[in-house]
Amino acid sequence: MNNSNCIFCKIVQCEIPALKVYEDEHFFAFLDIRPLNKGHTLLIPKTHYRWMWDIPDDYSKSANKIVLAIKHAFETDYVQALVVGEEVEHAHLHLIPRFLEDGHGSVVNPQNIKNFSMQEMKSFTQKIKENLR
């Protein structure tokens, strides 16, 4: 079931373009258009769920696969996973690579949006895809 007014459902249906890094039968991952760091990825279920706890258990398997790809692609020690759901009412997980001196501190600052060119964003997409296992 999808919600015709949901921006993430429209991305899954290819009605709105996105820089896709991963897709399987149930999940879709793409770069955030307001990245907090290079490689900032959103993982969403293809089916419209409002809350994270409604998503089937295999969501974590897809998240782990993408986190490892991000970690290797950007040579970072860790990837911060955040659940924030007030802006878009479609369950989603932010996967944000973290770096020393990335301007965020111990927790990412949602106001510290990085400005990358479309060419850079496409290169981030490719790096993540190349590191998927």
Residues with a catalytic annotation lie at 92
Residue carrying structure tokens 């970072």: 76
Angle at which helices 59-74 and 118-130 cross, to 10°: 110
Residues in the chain: 133
Q: Is there a contact between 127 and 68 (Cβ–Cβ < 8 Å)?
A: no
Beta bridge partners of 93: 43
DSSP 50: S
